[in-house]
Amino acid sequence: MNAIAKVITACVTPFSEDGRSVDAKRFIALCEYLIQNGSDGLLVHGTTGEGPTLTLEEKKQLIRLTKEVIEAYASPVHLMASINGNDTQAVVEQVQELLNQAEHPDSLLVVVPFYNKPTQAGMIAHFEAVANVAEGIPIVIYNIPNRTGVAMQADTMKTLHDRLGGQLLGVKQSDASMDALSAITRLLPYDETGFVVWSGDDSLTLPMLALGAKGVISVSSHLIGRELHGMIEAFEAGKTAKALTLQHQMLPTMRALFQVTNPILVKACMAQQGFVHPSMRLPMLLEDEHQALASLILNQQKTLAL
C-alpha cells in the first residue's frame, strides 16, 4: 500500500426489495458516491455490510463490483474485504474461496475469533493459519472486544508482526481504551514498523490520531466522509484547532448513528437518500421508528451545515 487510506468506509450492502439478492446497480452507485465524497478506501461485506448473512458468492460479487468501480478512478482507492468466523478451518476455507477468482482485495480484515474466547496463543495460531493461505495479501486485525468477548493484546500483535512481517498491515482498533491503543503504538510505531492503526469507532478518531492512529474504518463516512477526511488532514497538518472544530461538528451525527445496533440507522439514512432499498436480512430489522430516527439524523446534518 503506497499511501495509507485515511477514511475506509465500511459499506452497507444494497439488497433487492425482497432482500434475496444484492442490488448490483445500487452498490456500484454507492461506491462511486463514497469515493467522490471523502473515502479513499472501501470495506466490503463487513458487519455494516451485513456480512454474516451474505453467501460466499455474494461476497465474491461485492469484491468484483468494487474492483470495477475502483479501476475507473485515477487516484488509488484501497479495497479491504472482511473475514469473520470463530472456526479457524472454516475461516481458512473462506479465504481460499474468496481468493479463488481473478479480482483480489488489497487487504483482508480478519476479526479476532468471537464467542469462544481464545487465548492470546490461540489468536496467534488463528491469524497465522489465515496468513498461510492468504497468498501474501496483507492482513488487518479487527480488534472489537465488545462484540467478540475478548481483546487481542498489544504484545500479541507485536508477536504476530514479528512472525508475519509486512503481511500484517495493521489493526482496526474498536476499543475505547486509550491505554490499550498507547500500548499498541508504543510496541508497533508506524514510522519503524509500518503497522497501521485505524480507529474502529468514528467518534474516537481524533483522540486516536493523537496516539498514533493513521485513519478510520468508518460508518458515518456514508454521510460525512468529506468532513471526516478533512479532520484527519487538518490534524496531520498540525491544524489541531480546525480538527477539533470538525470533530465537534461531526460528533452529533457520529453518536446518533449508533443509537441502535449498527447498521440499522446508517442503512435507513442511505435508503432515504435513494442509495439502497430499506431491506435488511434477519436478524437485522429496519423498523418504522428507525426510519423516524434516520430522518432526524439527516435533518440534523442540514442544521449543522454538514
Residue that the C-alpha cell 489468536 belongs to: 123
For residue 34, count other CB atoms closer than 10 A to its CB.
23
Residue 132 has pLDDT above 80, yes or no: yes
pLDDT for 262-282, tens place per residue? 999 999 999 999 999 999 999
pLDDT in the model for residue 42: 98
The answer to whether the CB of 270 falls within 8 A of the CB of 257 is: no
Unique residue bearing C-alpha cell 452497507 = 12
In this prediction, residue 213 carries a pLDDT of: 98
Homologous superfamily of 7-239 in CATH?
Aldolase class I (3.20.20.70)
What is the structure's pLDDT at 75? 80
**How large a percentage of the chain has pLDDT more than 90?**
94
Q: In which band, very low, low, confident or very high, does the pLDDT at 301 lie, cut at 50, 70 and 90?
A: confident
At residue 198, the 3 state secondary structure works out as strand
pLDDT at 165 over 70: yes
Residue 37 has pLDDT above 70, yes or no: yes
Residues 84-127 pLDDT 10s: 999 999 999 999 999 998 899 999 999 999 999 999 999 999 99
Model pLDDT for residues 194-232, shown as the tens digit of each residue: 999 999 999 999 999 999 999 999 999 999 999 999 999
What pLDDT, on a 0 to 100 scale, did the predictor assign at position 201?
97
Contact between 113 and 126 under an 8 Å Cβ cutoff? The reply is: yes
Q: Tell how far CA 64 is from the center of its chain.
A: 18
Cell of 117: 474466547
Dist. CA 4–CA 186, nearest whole Å: 19
pLDDT at 104: 94
Give the three cell numbers for residue 152. 487481542
| pLDDT for the residue 3 | 83
Please name every residue paired with 7 in a beta bridge, in sequence order, or none if there are none.
216
Question: At residue 47, what are phi and psi to the nearest 5 degrees?
Answer: -60, -40
Nearest to 199 by CA among 160, 249, 142, 271: 142
Instruction: At 198, give phi and psi (nearest 5°).
Output: -110, 135
Gyration radius of the chain's alpha carbons: 18
Beta bridge partners of 78: 41
Neighbours of 75 (CB within 10 A): 8
pLDDT one-digit tens code per residue, 7-20: 999 999 999 999 99
Query: Catalytic residue at 267?
Result: no
Average pLDDT for the chain: 96
Known catalytic residue: 172? Answer: yes
69 near 29, Cβ under 8 Å?
no
Kindly provide the residue ranges of all beta strands, DSSP E only, lying in 47-103, ordered along the sequence. 78-83
Q: Are 221 and 7 in contact (CB under 8 A)?
A: yes
Catalytic site residue from 6, 60, 172, 214: 172
Q: What is the DSSP letter of 112?
A: P
**Confidence class of residue 305 from pLDDT cuts 50, 70 and 90?**
low
Residue 306 pLDDT > 60: no
Given a cut of 70, whether residue 50 has pLDDT beyond it is yes
> Is residue 300 very low, low, confident or very high in pLDDT (cuts 50, 70, 90)?
confident
Task: Tell whether the model's pLDDT for residue 302 goes beyond 90.
Answer: no
Please tell me which residue in 6, 60, 142, 158 is annotated as part of the active site: 142
Residues 6+ away with beta carbon under 8 Å from 46: 10, 11, 82, 109
**Residue ranges of the domains in the chain?**
7-239
Task: Give the distance, in angstroms, between the CA of residue 254 and the centroid of all CA atoms in the same chain.
Answer: 15
Residue 1 scores a pLDDT above 60: no
Q: Which three cell numbers stand for residue 84?
A: 469473520
Share of the chain residues as helix, strand and coil, in percent rounded to the nearest 5: 50, 15, 35
